């Protein structure tokens, strides 16, 4: 299962190759031998993201014919599509006609790639074509990208904690002063209503701050041996009625052995409930009526990592709307959400990331738009 949290973007400061005067045949297939001889997938696109041409390596990786690709959107081919309310970051960037290098998962090409975006200027100094080269990453490169992304998220956590601490004191003062005025306000007056709103909104801000501080926590409290199978079972019992009401089927596959770790039962239950809530939302978005594919698959099994460490893996997979590939790297950022405006705070996955990290584990998301989303959690087994 490929990791999906590794769109580690680096703006290149290297000078671009001079391409003025380069014949069009060098940038489109048209039987050009050099173009077709390139072993890595290469696409030629417009700044608007429409594919003009692709070499044989690109056709092979995408498992499509030349006619299947030409005049299609690049995001549709390499990412599998996009969400109606979220513009693909790649398509947004292409409009800037700038150079860029990024490491990313491309489901349409079935792998992890280093994507190089190179604008090509004509003799009028105008960019009408952009060259996109995708080089498949090695296992070592993927591992390094994972480590970098984890470090980036840890830095975001520290920033969130600093902001939360700075905001916490003044918002507490606002709530307290508003409450004092509210206590002396005439009953059923406009003043009472307005002050009540100030207190309510202040408490909502305080709750968000509390969540931010939880995201940036440093350690687990009340750690004890727990069975992840039990965490999943009890979590499902809390939402079983709600899922059944929505027509969502649950398929479970749990190890017959105890999947024991050292951790906090309630914190991990919070993670599972959040993931189930996200899966429910995605399924209800895709299927307004009953469907055999309106389901969530959940598994929990022990396994041995390459380093010989004993781990427990949880997988929660739904077949809902899916998540655009271009934004997978932002899923764990505080306040980022794929839901429409007003339907999510963007803190659920941030908190889940912090909790799993506190347990010495990792959480990753793999998704293809309009097909599925799978969240995988790996936590060291107790005694490992």
pLDDT at 346 over 70: no
Average pLDDT over residues 73-95: 79
pLDDT the model gives residue 172: 84
pLDDT at 119 over 90: yes
Q: What is the pLDDT of residue 6?
A: 43
Q: Which residues fall within 8 angstroms of residue 229, CB to CB, at 6 or more apart?
A: 254, 255, 258, 259, 300
Between residues 149 and 174, the one the model is more confident about: 174
Fold of 224-380: Heat Shock Protein 90 (3.30.565)
Q: 103: which 2 tokens?
A: 């490491």
Check residue 323 and give left, alpha or beta (phi > 0: left; psi -120 to 50: alpha).
beta
pTM: 0.58
Q: What percent of the chain has pLDDT over 70?
A: 77
Confidence check: pLDDT of 113 > 60:
yes
Higher pLDDT, 357 or 153: 357
pLDDT higher than 70, residue 146: no
Provide the pLDDT for residue 296.
96
Residue-averaged pLDDT of the chain:
81
Element (H, E) at 237: helix 228-245
pLDDT given at position 331:
81
pLDDT at 152: 62
| 65-74, 132-141, 158-167, 274-283: segment of lowest average pLDDT | 158-167
> What is the reported pLDDT for 169?
78
What is the crossing angle of helices 228-245 and 265-286, to 10°? 30
φ, ψ at 272 (rounded to 5°): -65, -45
The tens digit of pLDDT for each residue in 224-272 reads: 999 999 999 999 998 998 999 999 999 999 999 999 999 999 889 989 9
Q: Domain spans of the chain? A: 9-137, 143-215, 224-380
According to the model, what pLDDT value does residue 247 have? 94
Q: What is the CATH number of domain 143-215?
A: 1.10.287
* Confidence at residue 111, expressed as pLDDT on a 0 to 100 scale: 82
Whose tokens are 């993670």? That residue is 271
Superfamily of domain 9-137, CATH level 4 = PAS domain (3.30.450.20)
**pLDDT > 90? residue 57:** yes
Kindly state the average pLDDT of the residues 326-343: 67
Poorest-confidence range of 38-52, 56-70, 88-102? 88-102
Nearest to 116 by CA among 126, 124, 106, 128: 106
Q: What is the pLDDT of residue 353?
A: 86
Contact 216, 160 (CB under 8 A): yes
pLDDT digits (tens, 9 = 90+) for 176-211: 888 889 888 888 889 888 998 998 888 888 877 776
pLDDT of residue 306: 74
């Amino acid at each position: 299962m490929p990791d999906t949290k590794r769109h580690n973007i680096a703006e290149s400061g290297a000078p671009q190759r001079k391409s003025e005067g380069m014949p069009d045949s060098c940038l489109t297939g048209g039987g050009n031998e050099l173009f077709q001889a390139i072993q890595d997938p290469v696409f030629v696109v417009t700044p608007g993201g429409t594919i003009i041409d692709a070499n044989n390596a690109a056709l092979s990786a995408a498992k499509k014919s030349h006619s299947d690709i030409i005049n299609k959107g690049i995001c549709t081919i390499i990412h599998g599509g996009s969400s109606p309310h979220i513009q693909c970051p790649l398509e947004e960037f292409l409009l800037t006609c700038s150079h860029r290098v990024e490491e990313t998962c491309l489901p349409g090409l079935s792998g992890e790639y280093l994507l190089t975006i190179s604008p090509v200027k004509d003799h009028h100094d105008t960019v009408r074509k952009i060259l996109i080269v995708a080089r498949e990453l090695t296992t070592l490169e993927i591992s390094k990208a994972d480590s970098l992304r984890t470090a980036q998220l840890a830095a975001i956590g520290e920033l969130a904690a600093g902001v939360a601490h700075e905001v916490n004191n003044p918002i507490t003062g606002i709530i307290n002063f508003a409450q004092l005025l509210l206590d002396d306000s005439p009953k059923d007056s406009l003043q009472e209503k307005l002050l009540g709103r100030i207190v309510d909104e202040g408490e909502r801000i305080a709750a968000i701050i509390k969540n931010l501080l939880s995201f940036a926590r440093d350690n687990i409290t009340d750690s004890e041996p727990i069975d992840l199978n039990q965490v999943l079972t009890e979590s499902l019992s809390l939402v079983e009625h709600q899922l059944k009401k929505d027509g969502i089927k649950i398929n479970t596959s749990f190890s017959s052995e105890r999947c024991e770790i050292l951790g906090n039962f309630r914190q991990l239950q919070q993670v599972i409930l959040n993931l189930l809530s996200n899966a429910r939302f995605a399924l209800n978005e895709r299927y307004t009526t009953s469907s055999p594919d309106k389901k969530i698959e959940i598994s929990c099994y022990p396994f041995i990592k390459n380093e010989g460490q004993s781990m427990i893996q949880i997988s929660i997979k739904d077949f809902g709307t899916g998540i655009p590939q271009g934004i997978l790297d932002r899923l764990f950022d505080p306040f980022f959400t794929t839901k429409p405006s007003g339907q999510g705070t963007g803190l659920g996955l941030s908190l889940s990331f912090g909790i799993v990290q506190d347990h010495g584990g990792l959480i990753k998301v793999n998704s293809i738009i309009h097909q599925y989303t799978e969240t995988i959690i790996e936590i060291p087994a107790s005694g490992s």
